[in-house]
């Protein structure tokens, strides 16, 4: 089986670079600040029609299971930056199709790896058994196929998928291994949201890249900032300088921050308000009138924007509010720049108003929690321990509410992502969260020196061997070890730590069922909890 000969070298280089980064942090930060290196966005002309990933709805078999085929492959992609770039993607050369799944259906995905390097595919925001999660333990060797399956049991939401091999996530996602995953739920049909994909229901995979003169991507997972790589060019759905012809009065934007470390504070270029209708895990209780929505890496939001005939307005990003960062936010992705331009037709098709009530989202009740766990985040570790694939950090009883108290102990930004569904934000530094964070979330910003309290509950899929991950979703930090593992157990379960990868050429390979068609445990009894959800 072919393996990438450069893997060890690249890891050695990264280790060296990390040492340099940490050892000379002050110097690096000062230098970055002084030179403004690589953090600003170059303004471009908006001359390319925005394109949308193909929709993959799967094939429904006689037993009702819907099967999706994804193949990770290498190729070249011409971003119009001087020539083709070497990229990787799923069912194409860059990014992957938009997977659409309907609540209640059984699904199976065949993920074939035609790359010459190992990868994984993680379903970010999906409620799935741990061994179907596509985290670092579900490595897919080159030339093999991984076959996860599960039953979709969570409300309508904008999720995504991306590769998640430990230590390699930043470069693989940057090179293209990511895509949208949309959950459809008939219960959400009454929300009055635009729903014609690619017309008035637009997925926007927002990333920042840097190109060299011949059009190749600069692949630099470490970057110049302590938070990781920042590109100088915005790419939306793989398009640089994208515009979209608006034909309807209202357009729904499904915003995904799929960047390595850049924060976006989205708003319209003329400052008009929009309606935020959904966060990471699904619809908000009511639409929120906002003029900004800030997303850290991994977060999503759905917004509805209304247009007037004949106008041109852009979705922009404004300087993010990162809290008590050292110095300015420049090196963490700042500035004001346009992301994608919208050109409204001379006459627009009428759009339905957004319903005043979108979904039943009861207030979270912290009093239901039986345990409080504390997570202290630093540059390279959580609770002082860098990620170890052979160590279980937290053992969580099934179907029990807990408070997870996450503290950023650094003077720099982090965020926090929990696998296996959604949580609720209880407080941020003791105060109630703003309404845009009051719905179902799976990734939340944790400002420097701040504490965010989350209410979590894992309703089913107990498995004392296969862990889920919690981690910072700034991809450099994740790769560097700002990640931990938890198992969900039933009373009396004996926890068996997963195998620790022991050789450099076989990074992260566990006992994951690669190339196995064996049917694992599927949906167990569904539980319903009205304040916290990990699905059912």
Q: Which residue in 208, 214, 205, 206 sits closest to 228, CA to CA?
A: 208
Residue 24 has which token pair? Answer: 């000379």
Residue 307: helix, strand or coil by DSSP?
A: coil
Instruction: For Cu ion, give the closer residue by CB, 39 or 113.
Output: 39
Instruction: For Cu ion, give the closer residue by CB, 106 or 414.
Output: 414
In the bound complex, what is the minimum distance in angstroms from residue 260's beta carbon to Cu ion? 11
Under rule CB under 5 A, which residues in 405-464 are in contact with Cu ion?
414
- Please tell me the distance from the alpha carbon of residue 368 to that of residue 179, in angstroms, as a whole number: 36
In the Cβ-directed half-sphere of 38, how many Cα atoms lie within 13 Å?
A: 25
- Please tell me the distance from the alpha carbon of residue 532 to that of residue 23, in angstroms, as a whole number: 41
In the bound complex, what is the minimum distance in angstroms from residue 322's beta carbon to Cu ion? 12
Stretch of 59-67, 69-77, 236-244, 475-483 lying at the interface with Cu ion (CB under 5 A): 475-483
Instruction: For Cu ion, give the closer residue by CB, 85 or 446.
Output: 446
472 binds Cu ion (CB under 5 A): yes
In the bound complex, what is the minimum distance in angstroms from residue 372's beta carbon to Cu ion? 22
Instruction: For Cu ion, give the closer residue by CB, 161 or 416.
Output: 416
**Of the residues 122, 373, 453, 477, which one makes contact with Cu ion according to CB under 5 A:** 477
In the bound complex, what is the minimum distance in angstroms from residue 477's beta carbon to Cu ion? 3
- Please tell me the distance from the alpha carbon of residue 39 to that of residue 220, in angstroms, as a whole number: 13
Stretch of 154-162, 215-223, 466-474, 515-523 lying at the interface with Cu ion (CB under 5 A): 466-474
In the bound complex, what is the minimum distance in angstroms from residue 165's beta carbon to Cu ion? 18
Q: Which residue in 333, 476, 335 sits closest to 32, CA to CA?
A: 333
In the bound complex, what is the minimum distance in angstroms from residue 186's beta carbon to Cu ion? 38
Stretch of 287-295, 302-310, 457-465, 474-482 lying at the interface with Cu ion (CB under 5 A): 474-482
- Please tell me the distance from the alpha carbon of residue 137 to that of residue 129, in angstroms, as a whole number: 13
147 binds Cu ion (CB under 5 A): no
**Of the residues 474, 475, 487, 489, which one makes contact with Cu ion according to CB under 5 A:** 474
- Please tell me the distance from the alpha carbon of residue 334 to that of residue 314, in angstroms, as a whole number: 17
Instruction: For Cu ion, give the closer residue by CB, 164 or 414.
Output: 414
Instruction: For Cu ion, give the closer residue by CB, 197 or 375.
Output: 375
Q: Is residue 181 within 8 Å of 99, Cβ to Cβ?
A: yes
Residues 6 or more apart from 531 whose CB is under 8 A from it?
362, 363, 364, 365, 368, 401, 424, 455, 457
Instruction: For Cu ion, give the closer residue by CB, 103 or 414.
Output: 414
In the bound complex, what is the minimum distance in angstroms from residue 293's beta carbon to Cu ion? 21
What is each CA distance from 114 to 1, 91, 108, 142, 524, in whole angstroms?
A: 11, 10, 19, 6, 33
Q: What residues make contact with Cu ion under the rule CB under 5 A?
A: 414, 472, 474, 477
């Amino acid at each position: 089986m072919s393996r990438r000969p450069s893997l060890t070298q690249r890891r050695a280089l990264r280790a060296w670079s990390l040492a340099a980064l940490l050892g000379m942090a002050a110097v690096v930060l000062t230098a970055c600040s002084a030179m403004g290196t690589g953090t600003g966005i170059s303004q471009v002309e908006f001359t390319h029609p925005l394109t949308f990933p193909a929709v993959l709805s799967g094939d429904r078999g006689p037993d009702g299971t819907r099967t999706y085929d994804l193949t990770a492959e290498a190729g070249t992609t011409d971003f119009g930056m001087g020539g083709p770039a070497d990229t990787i993607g799923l069912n194409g050369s860059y990014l992957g199709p938009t997977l659409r799944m309907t609540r209640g259906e059984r699904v199976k995905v065949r993920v074939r790896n035609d790359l010459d390097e190992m990868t994984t595919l993680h379903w970010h925001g999906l409620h799935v058994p741990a061994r179907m999660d596509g985290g670092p333990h579900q490595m897919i060797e080159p030339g093999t196929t991984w076959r996860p399956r599960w039953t979709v049991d969570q409300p309508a939401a904008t999720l995504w998928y991306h590769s998640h091999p430990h230590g390699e996530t930043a470069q693989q996602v940057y090179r293209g291994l990511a895509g949208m995953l949309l959950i459809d739920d008939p219960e959400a049909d009454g929300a009055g949201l635009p729903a014609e994909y690619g017309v008035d229901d637009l997925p926007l995979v927002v990333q920042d890249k840097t190109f060299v003169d011949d059009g190749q991507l600069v692949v630099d997972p470490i970057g110049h900032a302590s938070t990781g790589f920042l590109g100088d060019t915005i790419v939306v759905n793989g398009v640089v300088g994208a515009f979209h012809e608006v034909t309807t009065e209202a357009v729904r934007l499904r915003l995904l921050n799929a960047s390595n470390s850049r924060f976006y504070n989205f708003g319209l270029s003329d400052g008009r308000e929009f309606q935020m209708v959904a966060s990471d895990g699904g619809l908000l209780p009511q639409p929120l009138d906002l003029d900004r929505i800030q997303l850290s890496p991994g977060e999503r939001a759905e917004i509805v924007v209304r247009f007037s005939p004949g106008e041109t307005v852009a979705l922009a990003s404004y300087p993010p509010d990162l809290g008590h960062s050292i110095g300015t936010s420049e090196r963490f992705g700042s500035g004001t720049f346009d992301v994608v331009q919208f050109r409204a037709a001379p006459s627009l098709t009428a759009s339905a108003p957004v319903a005043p009530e979108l979904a039943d989202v009861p207030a979270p009740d912290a009093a239901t929690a039986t345990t409080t766990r504390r997570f202290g985040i630093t540059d390279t570790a959580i609770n002082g321990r860098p990620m170890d694939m052979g160590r279980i950090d937290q053992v969580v009883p099934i179907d029990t509410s807990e408070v997870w108290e996450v503290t950023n102990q650094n003077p720099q930004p982090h965020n926090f992502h929990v696998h296996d569904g959604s949580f609720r934000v209880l407080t941020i530094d003791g105060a109630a969260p703003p309404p845009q964070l009051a719905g179902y979330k799976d990734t939340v910003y944790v400002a420097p020196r701040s504490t965010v309290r989350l209410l979590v509950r894992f309703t089913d899929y107990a498995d004392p061997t296969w862990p889920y991950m919690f981690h910072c979703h700034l991809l450099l930090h994740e790769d560097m070890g700002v990640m931990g593992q938890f198992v969900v157990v039933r009373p009396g379960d004996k926890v068996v730590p997963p195998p620790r990868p022991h050789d450099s050429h076989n990074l992260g390979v566990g006992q994951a069922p690669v190339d196995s068609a064996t049917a694992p445990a599927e949906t167990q009894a569904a539980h319903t909890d009205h304040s916290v959800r990990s699905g059912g």
